[in-house]
Amino acid sequence: MNSDSDSKKGYLWAKSRMPILNRIVRKYSKSKILSDFKLGMCLHITYETAVLVTALSRAGAMISLCPANPLSSKDHVIDYLHSEVANVKLFVNNREDYSSFYKNMDRVLDTKPQIITDDGGELHKKAILRSQNVVGGTEETTSGVNRLRMLSKDGKLTYPIIAANESIMKLLLDNKFGTGQSTIQGIINTTGVMVANKRIVVCGYGWVGKGVARVAKGMGAKVTIAEVDPLLAIEAYLDGFEVGPLEKLLANNDIFITCTGQFNVIGRDHFHKLKEGAILCNAGHFDVEIDVNYLNEMDPSHFDPRPNVTCYHTNRSQCKKKFYLITRGRVVNLVGAEGNSPEVMDISFSNQFLAIVYLSKAASKMTNRVYRMPKKLDKKLAQLVLAEHGVEIDSLTPDQISYFKR
């Protein structure tokens, strides 16, 4: 897709699959509720993101946008945003290195945004280090929320942040169902492997891990969970999955998927124990879960047998084996596939839109800490989704409401 018309078709397709956000923006664009607000955004640059950015622009916001991952930006989306969307400054160099990646975040902050929306916490960290005058922010990922909570605990947050990621709607539809599907899709697109009959290890049984394990099992894979949290481990076991330590799973499994937010989940002590031909990939936000730096040192002659698949050899104990890393350890569902479907991102970005509007009105009354998504917004979004799908539910009677108040 190279022409402007093709780029617009891609946007219109995504928009047509995002009815909740369309409904919300129709309400808020009339009043231009975000007029005079500057937004700084660090997100994966996909067509779904273009729908969100367009919606915020229609509500009156001035937007500066940079990518949340050096490999996740789509050229045709960049073309669309440049040519079609008003009030947007785009700072991106596709396939950029980390130096320009972080420089683009600085360029966003140079526009002096009042509200920051981030996917990973990097833009928030930079804003805090620069003592940026920000009134509030939102965060899209588990990794980012965890980082920001640590800053809050240390008293270093300089503005309130809404953990949009912790909306029940976002966790359920985006992290579990969306990323679960798109991660397996990314593996299939990149490698062409058949999932049925494969032995797959999912590292981490948080919301993303739950979704990945569920989809892999549904496609016929034999799934084992590696987990450090005893509560999540017992949940995985009661959900019908085998559970075991990663160390004991390396030699007998075909595909390993990290979903933890931690670094070096699969590292130098693991690679030589892998099964011949094993496939490694990451579904966490940052490319630190698999120790790629060590892999490149271990095998300087590594090569790509096909796009986004890198072959490495290990030669320890006179036993030469090969294994494969997908998408250089970066998030497989965005680099190897197109990320979550528009239907899923409709919920996540409606969430973000509502959180930004909430901050525009309430940030001055909030303290500098990380907040959960306000329950009334989560409930409002759930009601919109049910209405869109024509689903009716019961309501409490006056007597039942009275009973709860006793």
Please give the annotated binding residues, written as ranges. Answer: 46, 119, 140, 170, 174, 206-211, 227, 283-285, 333
User: Which residue in this structure is represented by tokens 């490698």?
Assistant: 191
**Binding site residue list for substrate:** 46, 119, 140, 170, 174
Distance CA 73, CA 219 (A): 29
Query: What tokens were used for 136?
Result: 């509030």
Tokens for 132, please give them. Answer: 């940026």
DSSP structural state of residue 374: P
3-class state of residue 129 by DSSP: helix
Residue type at position 230: P
Measure the CA–CA gap between 168 and 32, rounded to whole angstroms. Answer: 28
CA 29/CA 87 separation, integer angstroms: 14
In angstroms, the CA 356 to CA 361 distance is 9
Distances (CA, A) of 104 to 66, 69, 95: 6, 11, 13
- In terms of Cα–Cα distance, which of 260, 331, 325, 258 is closest to 292? 325
Number of other residues whose CB lies within 10 A of the CB of residue 382: 16
Instruction: Give the three-class secondary structure for 259.
Output: coil
Distance CA 102, CA 104 (A): 5
DSSP letters along 272-303, please? GGSPTT-EEEE-SSSTTSB-HHHHHHH-TT-E
Strands 88-90, 199-203: pairing kind: unpaired
Residues whose CB is less than 8 angstroms from the CB of residue 78 and which lie 6 or more positions away in sequence, other chains included: 45, 90, 92, 94
Supply the angle between the helices 375-388 and 342-362 in degrees, to the nearest 10: 140
Please name the residue that has the structure tokens 């009354």: 365
CB 140 within 8 A of CB 175: no
**Annotation: binding site for NAD(+):** 206-211, 227, 283-285, 333
193 φ, ψ (degrees, to nearest 5):
-75, 155
Write down how long the chain is. Answer: 406
- Contact call for residues 261 and 205 (beta carbons, < 8 A): no
